Structure 1
Amino acid sequence: MDRDLWSGLAVFAAIVEAGSFARAATRLGLSASALSHAMRTLEAKLGTRLLDRTTRSLAPTQAGADLLLSLRPAMAAVDDALGALDSTRARPTGRVRVNAHRPAAMHVVLPRLPGFAAAYPDVAVELVVDDGLVDIVAGRFDCGVRHEGEVQRDMISVRISDAVPLAFVAAPAYLAARAPPEAPDDLGRHCCLCYRYTSSGTIHVWEFAKDEHRFARTVPGSFVTNDVDLMRDAAVSALGVACLPRPCVDRQIESGALVEVLCGWAPVLPPNQLYYPSRRQPTAAFRAFVEALRI
């Protein structure tokens, strides 16, 4: 195969995956102008336009989308071949791309990276925060991190955290003006801070657990966001009651910036799982990363 053509196809796939020339250039270690030149050369050789570009957006044309769909199995095969070669090296090297929801990225993955970096200095980790459900194969991620039960089928999964308790919290300043809620029925008299899922666009329905009884209920949302850190900060700013993973608010509870309410009603989320395609040959770097996160 024409080496320039293969190189251009790889650049095309990287641009679509990254969503922009600038981000693709950063990942590939090239200039945006070099990528633009490569795309012009590729489109000229193929005699068809592969990308629709404006100053604000980028998307593959229908011909480009069809080509990319055909290319992905071949690129996966190349990744597998390189993974097999990498496994023969004495010292893992390369890059591991991870897609994780924010609480897991901050409180599960990030705390283990210093030890991993010290043990494997030649392995770079790219941690992409995404609270939606994503296709890690199409996004060319090595793995994803989601709660147990959210993992895609036909994936290999590894447990990387214990179950995650939730907490209902509010700021002392907010509670100074009203009686704190003691049961779910009390929330009708309160301002609630709600989370909107990025992928589906739906609002998170709050769950409650008492003894063996567990149920869900829609709460009156006075503030809605798609970012758990912003929701925590909104709670600290006395905007209302929030339901958040306990690790996200431990520090604020300890400092007194937030107070737990509805004590005894908070449910527990399933453990976090690291997952990856069963058909892909893992590199030595990726195997080391998995073992560093496994519990």
Structure 2
Amino acid sequence: MREELSDLALFMAVAEERSFTRAAVQLEMSQSAVSHAVRRLESQVGIKLLNRTSRRVSTTDAGEKLLAALRPGLGMIRSRIEELRLLGDAPRGLVRLAASKAALHAVLWPRLSQIVQDYPEIQIELNLESRLIDLAGERFDAGIRMREFISPDMIAVKVGPDLRMAAVAAPPYLRTHGTPEHPDDLDHHACIGLRFHSQASTYDWEFERDGEELAKKVTGPFIFSESDVCIEAARAGHGIAFVTEPEVMDDIERGTLRRVLEDWCPAFDGYYLCYSGRRNISSAFRLVIDRLRYDEG
């Protein structure tokens, strides 16, 4: 029974991380040990739980049903153990996080605000830049990033729901220049660019529909380093901006911005908290991880 519970916990880690490598780093185990445990579990239940390719791991229908059943129970056990661990060690100290403004407003702020109210001896420092900071080199405890920007050797904890991108423009701009119906139509539109730092290329706009994937290099009157300024420029009628959906939902509902190419913007993995599995974790940082963890159940 003890071995079965261990295998179930390992399966859950792999399924949530969608990677044997990342799960092994998180659990401080070898990848072969994690893989062996999952194969043993599949043998015991007599059905395949994970689809494995050279690039990704995903749950089968049976695996998804098992994962949904495991999350509430194992999540509660994890929370109770964390509460007991903290009883004799009141969290205190500084936690340094690097995140974008979009991530702060979309998923972080309510929970971080509650943490410092509940634990007055915790101090949280937030660096709000779009560029990908060297977390270890600049002594940050963790960063908040999209999955595609997280290296495989880092532990990644999902902290928010899946996201969608939104291409938006002001109604006067669309009345004058027309509405793009296909991503290729953007070649004839003013597009507001985003460059995360001075040495990076401008961000390519990625679209997908019915299995067709397109990455568009766009041009226009402005290139900014922060998405909120891209939105301001779109409101002012300078062209089309491409940002995360939560950043512009209020504008869309008010009618100050209109969405275009919506059927080309499917959902994707949202924000993750990422940190090195080789670092020592303080009680304050452990609490932040636990409070930010997103419950998909």
TM-score between both structures, scaled by the size of structure 1:
0.67
Aligned match of 2:41: none
Aligned match of 1:243: 242
Deviations 1:55-101 (CA, angstroms, capped at 9, x unpaired): xxxxxxxxxxxxxxxxxxxxxxxxxxxxxxx9785321111100112
Distance verdict in 2 for CA 1:273–1:199, change over 3 Å: farther
8 Å Cα contact 2:143/2:275 also seen in 1 = yes
8 Å Cα contact 1:166/1:266 also seen in 2 = yes
Q: Which amino acid aligns with 1:128?
A: N
RMSD: 1.9
Deviations 1:154-187 (CA, angstroms, capped at 9, x unpaired): 2222111122100110001212223211112322
8 Å Cα contact 1:198/1:226 also seen in 2 = yes
8 Å Cα contact 1:170/1:260 also seen in 2 = yes
Aligned match of 2:179: 180
Q: Which amino acid aligns with 1:209?
A: E
Distance 1:157 1:178 in 2: 42
Percent identity for Structure 1 against Structure 2: 35
Distance 2:106 2:247 in 1: 8
Distance 1:186 1:209 in 2: 15
Deviations 1:244-287 (CA, angstroms, capped at 9, x unpaired): 10011111111111011123112444321111121222111111
Name the SS of the counterpart of 2:105 in structure 1: helix
Distance 2:282 2:129 in 1: 24
Unmatched 5+ stretches in structure 1: 1-85
Distance 1:217 1:176 in 2: 23
Name the SS of the counterpart of 1:221 in structure 2: coil
Aligned match of 1:270: 269
Unmatched 5+ stretches in structure 2: 1-84
- The structure that has the greater radius of gyration is 1
8 Å Cα contact 1:133/1:199 also seen in 2 = no
Distance 2:165 2:270 in 1: 12
Aligned match of 2:211: 212
Name the SS of the counterpart of 2:264 in structure 1: coil
Name the SS of the counterpart of 1:149 in structure 2: helix
8 Å Cα contact 2:196/2:226 also seen in 1 = no
Aligned match of 1:228: 227
Q: Which amino acid aligns with 2:231?
A: R
TM-score between both structures, scaled by the size of structure 2:
0.66
Distance 1:136 1:184 in 2: 35
Q: Which amino acid aligns with 1:108?
A: V
8 Å Cα contact 1:182/1:263 also seen in 2 = no
Q: Greater shift after overlay, 144-153 or 225-234?
A: 144-153
Q: Greater shift after overlay, 228-237 or 199-208?
A: 199-208
Distance 2:273 2:214 in 1: 28
Aligned match of 2:132: 133
Aligned match of 2:49: none
